Amino acid sequence: MYTYDKNQLQSKLADYIGARVPADAWQWLQEKATLVTKDSKQFHIAFAAASRKLGKQAVVLTAEEQTGLQQIRKQLTVTGWAIDRLCRVWLLLQLNSEDEDNYVQTIERLFPAAEMNELVALYSALPLLAYPQRWRARCAEGIRNNIADVLEAIMCDNPYPSEQLDEAAWNQLVLKAIFTEKPLQKVIGLIERSNETLANSLTDYAHERWAAHRKVLPLLWQCVGRFINAHNFADIQRIALSTDAREREAAALACQQSTYAPAQELLKTNTLLQQLVNRGITWQEIAEKLQRNS
């Protein structure tokens, strides 16, 4: 039903929320949580009222608190969330999940009329909901959304897509993240879920950008490295010789990921690429440099 210890996570989040909201707001939320288990109507009322009752201040966890969360639910991150987002997710954890169809329908009914902050909370909750396979279509539909905050809730620091989406939906997420300029370094499972179809789509996209004399995001190549072949090796050679330092760094890392013999040879014979690898350049470092220069 759940992929983690739900009771343990409920308790941990309750501690974090209780320490961050006024006493009267926390009392209100606890009272609503008690009613939610008996009356789904009360759940809808509490879910809608969360912003007004609890505010929107940012949640900042200590390193110890963050570690505590991830020991219960791998790759879960709530730092940077608004407090109403966290409280809405906590409320979702109060729902009775014994009746699968009723549980799914109760949550599904929230999506059509949800305003932006409610949608952000709903998509943020996907990795914590029971019956994870039941939310794949909803997640795929969310990727087609054009609200920036909603897309970021699905794409960034959210383990659900990489764990549950099929290849086509996953590829759509990565492409949409690039098109909408979301921070790729926050897409969980980006390299692990890379595949040849995605690599081909990304190299085609790079060709279109180059043809239009536009730049290509260097982080894109981390999805191509394991799939370098005769068809796209010229692209790697091109960025290896680029005047842009970030592109050269991306070429070094892409070649390092590759088992394609010419890519390995390029890494050996290009002194600059070899120096970058020996220095320990990472995709995260490239992302941070790009962010500082943006």
The answer to whether position 247 is within a domain reads yes
Same domain, 224 and 99: no
Question: Residue 212 is which amino acid?
Answer: A
Same domain, 77 and 217: no
Buried b (16+ CB within 10 A) or exposed e, 88-126: bbbbbbbbebeeeeebbebbeebeeebeebbbbbbbbbb
Residue ending a domain, among 186, 213, 242, is 186
What pLDDT, on a 0 to 100 scale, did the predictor assign at position 41? 80
Residue ending a domain, among 148, 168, 186, is 186
Q: Across residues 173-183, what is the average pLDDT?
A: 97
The answer to whether position 109 is within a domain reads yes
Overall domain count for the chain: 2
What pLDDT, on a 0 to 100 scale, did the predictor assign at position 286? 98
Indicate the Cα dihedral angle 265, 269, 271, 277, nearest 10°: 20
Range of the domain at 258: 196-293
Same domain, 15 and 155: yes
The answer to whether position 120 is within a domain reads yes
The answer to whether position 191 is within a domain reads no
Same domain, 47 and 82: yes
Same domain, 164 and 253: no
CA distance 215 to 28: 51
Same domain, 174 and 206: no
The answer to whether position 1 is within a domain reads no
CA distance 107 to 130: 11
Query: For 123-157, what is each residue's pLDDT tens digit?
Result: 999 999 999 999 999 999 999 999 999 999 999 99
Give the list of residues 6+ apart from residue 175 with CB closer than 8 angstroms, or none. 198, 201, 202, 205
CA distance 113 to 102: 18
Same domain, 169 and 47: yes
Residue ending a domain, among 186, 210, 231, is 186
Query: For 228-253, what is each residue's pLDDT tens digit?
Result: 999 999 999 999 999 999 999 999 99
Q: C-alpha angle 152/133/9, rounded to 5°?
A: 70
Same domain, 116 and 213: no
The answer to whether position 288 is within a domain reads yes
DSSP 57: P
Residue 171 has pLDDT above 90, yes or no: yes
Where are the alpha helices (H) located in 165-282, listed in sequence order?
167-179, 196-211, 233-240, 245-257, 261-269, 271-279
Same domain, 93 and 169: yes
Q: Across residues 65-85, what is the average pLDDT?
A: 95
Same domain, 161 and 204: no
Which pLDDT band, with edges at 50, 70 and 90, does 293 fall under? confident
CA distance 119 to 112: 9
Same domain, 230 and 204: yes
Residue 38 has pLDDT above 80, yes or no: no
Question: What rounded mean pLDDT belongs to the chain?
Answer: 96
Same domain, 262 and 131: no
